[in-house]
Amino acid sequence: MVKLTMRTWLMMAGAAAFLTSPATAAGPAACRPVAKAAPTRTVEAEPKTVLNATHVFAAAGEAPFVRPVGYDAVCAPSECAAPVECAPAECAPFGCDDLSCDGYGCGNDGCGFMGREMGDPWSLQGATGIEAVNFGGWSQWGYTNKSTGQFNSSPHRLNLHQQWFYLEKEADGSEGVDWGFRADLMYGIDADDTQAFGNHPGRWDFQNGWDHGQYGWAMPQLYGEVAYKDVSIIAGHFYTLLGYEVVTAPDNFFYSHAFTMYNSEAFTHTGVLATYSASDDVELYGGWTLGWDSGFDQLDGGSNFLGGASVSLLDDVTVTYILTVGDLGLIGDGYTHSIVADVALTDKLNYVLQSDLVTTTNPVGTATGTNYDTIGVNQYLIYDVNDHLGLGTRFEWWKADGTSYYEMTYGVNIKPHANLVIRPEVRYQWAPAAQGANARNPIGLPVYGGAIFGVDTILTF
């Protein structure tokens, strides 16, 4: 169903009244359409700019649209030459129509910052002209007035979270056997949460020499890849498949992270993982790893299965189920899963529902007892106003060792340039059982009554 804004109703009503008026049925000479039709051109969709694991600002996969060249002089002359000869006050009270300039319309968004086309991002690789391998990175800086207890744990200062570099060669098996690799190296305050802390101390990047006070280095990925037709196999150190949010800042909508992501999911694994694209709608995963957050090391006999499936049930609905089962190393023996349903409600509105379950034999944090049992439900609602502006909210319930934690975040993504995004947010997190004389806070998370304000900026290259 097409939704019409109040502005659109007013325009339609005004047009109807104008056309049916006896004095103007044929239209005054000053407002008649130009006799010669304006030429048309096709504007190709821009490349995707990923803002989280499954969500994009630009609808890059949509078919290109056709628009007349140029519209009303309200817009830039090179883009908008009026197709109707009329006085703006009489015939164009709202400026250009909704197909002008950038597809959103000068009448709706204007031809300034929020209405112009995004353009292509600048890249270090593009500047060098090297095509044999892909490389680049980003710089993320942020500020928060209170600690969330996860990643954003150094308040009241401007922090360099991630200075990231990557180098890769993608394996393309479409024409036979091909090989590839990927290496990621980062420096910043997030390194402490990105290192292979599921190792014995002193192994891989989990060692004192990689740390510099609160800052440090981490190498979360280093793997080789072989691909043949619809099958790809990677071996080495790589990101987990679990969950919706990820470690890499540009791939998340929000600056802060969910309790579930930080406490109920691995960040990395070391092992072997195969991916099979069974069809356009089904992708299967299966492999073996050395437990959670291991980096070329085996802690406490870590040895587990990692796998699952991602299925497109409808054109706008994708469900992904990922599990780990076996000896998970740091957190003991057990089973975990993550289920993510991603639903495109409209071209601009996206809804995500996620649920994680963990049941293992080792307590975590300040939890007591012999087990670590958690369950959580996250909901995300993200609205793309246009290429430059996105609005989002996240609500979460997460339960650990009998204590329920809650978190609500409201955020905005502002993108003044294809390489730059600014992400202010307001977050609330609380746990009713953690208040009072008999307070229970088994994970030791900070729970506040007030708001947590945070903002970061990400510059990609």
Local confidence band at 113 (pLDDT 50, 70, 90 cut-offs): low
pLDDT score of 119: 86
Determine the 3-state secondary structure of 263 from DSSP. Answer: helix
Cα–Cα distance for residue pair 303/288, rounded to 1 Å: 7
Residue 155, pLDDT > 90, answer yes
178-227 residue pLDDT tens: 999 999 999 999 999 999 999 999 999 999 999 999 999 999 999 999 99
**For the residues 427-436, what does the mean pLDDT come to?**
86
pLDDT score of 114: 62
User: Residue 332's CB: how many other CB atoms inside 10 A?
Assistant: 21
pLDDT score of 293: 96
CB 97 within 8 A of CB 88: no
237-275 residue pLDDT tens: 999 999 999 999 999 999 999 999 999 999 999 999 999
Question: 256-272 burial, b for 16+ CB within 10 Å, e for fewer?
Answer: bbbbbbbbbbbbbbbbb
Phi, psi of 434 (to 5 degrees): -90, 5
Local confidence band at 13 (pLDDT 50, 70, 90 cut-offs): very low
Look at residues 27, 3, 29, 30 and name the one whose alpha carbon lies nearest to residue 15: 27
CB 148 within 8 A of CB 446: yes
299-323 residue pLDDT tens: 999 999 999 999 999 999 999 999 9
Residue 108, pLDDT > 70, answer no
**Percent of the chain having pLDDT more than 70?**
73
Lowest mean pLDDT among 314-318, 338-342, 368-372: 368-372
Lowest mean pLDDT among 85-94, 123-132, 269-278, 400-409: 85-94
Sign of CA dihedral 47, 48, 50, 56: positive
Residue 416, pLDDT > 70, answer yes
367-372's contacts with Cβ under 8 Å and 24+ in sequence apart are 367/400, 367/401, 367/442, 367/443, 368/401, 368/442, 369/401, 372/331, 372/332, 372/334, 372/400, 372/401
pLDDT score of 369: 60
Domains of the chain: 29-109 (no CATH), 124-460 (2.40.160.10)
CB 351 within 8 A of CB 313: no
The region that residue 20 occupies, defined by phi over 0 for left and psi between -120 and 50 for alpha, beta otherwise, is alpha
Residue 4, pLDDT > 90, answer no
**For the residues 400-426, what does the mean pLDDT come to?**
96
Local confidence band at 109 (pLDDT 50, 70, 90 cut-offs): very low
Question: 196-223 burial, b for 16+ CB within 10 Å, e for fewer?
Answer: bbbbeeebbbbbeebbeeebbbbbbbbb
Local confidence band at 115 (pLDDT 50, 70, 90 cut-offs): low
Residue 296, pLDDT > 50, answer yes
Local confidence band at 97 (pLDDT 50, 70, 90 cut-offs): very low
Local confidence band at 117 (pLDDT 50, 70, 90 cut-offs): confident
Determine the 3-state secondary structure of 179 from DSSP. Answer: strand
Mean pLDDT, all residues of the chain: 81
Residue 165, pLDDT > 50, answer yes
